Amino acid sequence: MSRRPHYWLFLALLACGPLCAATPSAAEKPAKTPAEMPAWSSVMGSGLLTLPDTHTLAPGHFSAATTLHNRDRDPLKMDVLDFDATWTVGLTDRLETYGHAALARAISVSPRQELFPSPIDLIVPEGRRVPQRPYYPIYSAFPYVSPTGTSQLGRFNLGEATIGVKRSLWGARGWRPAVALSGELKLPLTRTLKDLQSGSGTGGIDERLRVTGEWQHGRSSLVASVAYTRMGNGAWGDRVIVYQPSGALSVSDEPLRLPGNLMLGIGSRRVIMPWAALVAEVTKLTEVGGRTAAFRVPGPVDLSLGAQLRWRNLRGTACIRHHANSVASRLYEWPLAGLVDLRKVNVEDRIAYLQAIGAGLALPQLRAGSQTAVAVPSDVPPLPAGARILPKGFSMAPHGNVAYVFSMTVALGGKR
């Protein structure tokens, strides 16, 4: 079934607000500048639903919020749910700082036998070709999610913290848009492998630069946003161990280089009451720059439709989202096909098996919590209990569930 109608529906919703406002009634007041308009609360600072706008919180004002942020992601059929604490502080007439911390994160993935993400300890006998990447598919925000992790919906783990600053450069005039510049820094709240395998993040530090433009006509506004994120390397990479019959070892570590991200977003807000607005967004994420070879998937496209409400010092945001760019069903040839997975083998049996095939000296090089795959010689003892031979292909299938965002904000300082 074609997904194209979804795009046309949301493009129509995005265009509706500005077109309806192009000929305002005589009773409608002229549009105010971003500095004069009260700011609406988004997931990150002042803005729409997930996109910022060009407004900033008034100086001396402060807002704090709790947010439930749900999204679907490929290629592992991820269902991601974050419980965030967010904040925004107005510094000057055109400057605000904001941030959020994922205090609880749950990620569920569809069960698949071939799910085998980094970090991998790969043991290969001398003379046998070392399998070349890609070993796995990656969604760069959560590259280590694994069946060995403990995260499931209902069991929460720490995520990351993001701090940012937004500067409104100038206001709108005629058809010239208002423009704002934002910078963000994302920091890991944990770097332990068990937490990363449960979906806490990358373990690295990311930097983001964003430019936002906003056109205002009466009660409607159209927002366009472009952001580039420089992703830090993953905290863990893969390890290749080549062993010789004599007992000598060659060990090489291969880092996990994550791609940068280019995010394009467009959104529209129509104020229907001083205390209520309807909002629609379309956002697209694309990987750019050099990175570790992985199975390629299309970047996510999120279509969001919701409302923003405010009453006295309370603010509320709610929306539904649709992940519209899911992967196509496909079976990839797997370089690790035929290797033996020792992940579920107990320690004693693993030691005995590696010693039996002549790779006993590789044991000190194996990292706690990593996936272990062994290219076994032709004449070997039977596999230990819990071992399995990795399949010939890596399968991916489409994923397109409806997700949501809910946020409740308390605004403090000045008049409400």
Condensed to tens digits (0 to 9), the pLDDT of residues 308-338 reads: 998 888 888 999 998 887 777 777 788 888 8
Domain coverage including residue 189 = 4-412
How many residues are given for the chain? 416
Q: What is the pLDDT of residue 4?
A: 38
* Residues in Cβ contact with 325 at an 8 Å cutoff, skipping those fewer than 6 apart: 3, 284, 298, 299, 300, 301
**Residue 223 maps to which CATH number?**
2.40.160.40
Determine what percent of the chain falls in helix, strand and coil, rounding each to the nearest 5.
Answer: 10, 45, 45
Q: What is the pLDDT of residue 139?
A: 84
Cβ neighbourhood burial of 225 (10 Å; 0-12, 13-18, 19+): buried
Pick the range with the lowest mean pLDDT from 47-56, 74-83, 226-235. 74-83
* Cα 234 from Cα 414, distance rounded (Å): 43
Q: What is the pLDDT of residue 224?
A: 96
* Cα 249 from Cα 303, distance rounded (Å): 51
DSSP 41: B
**What is the model's pTM?**
0.82
Number of domains in the chain: 1
Q: What is the pLDDT of residue 150?
A: 60
- Tell me the per-residue pLDDT of 276-301, one tens digit each, with 9 for 90 and over: 999 999 999 988 887 888 877 777 88
Q: Beta-carbon neighbour count of residue 399 at 10 Å? A: 18
Q: What is the pLDDT of residue 3?
A: 39
Percent of the chain with pLDDT over 90: 31
- Tell me the per-residue pLDDT of 73-93, one tens digit each, with 9 for 90 and over: 877 778 888 999 999 999 998
- Tell me the per-residue pLDDT of 253-280, one tens digit each, with 9 for 90 and over: 999 999 999 999 999 999 998 889 999 9
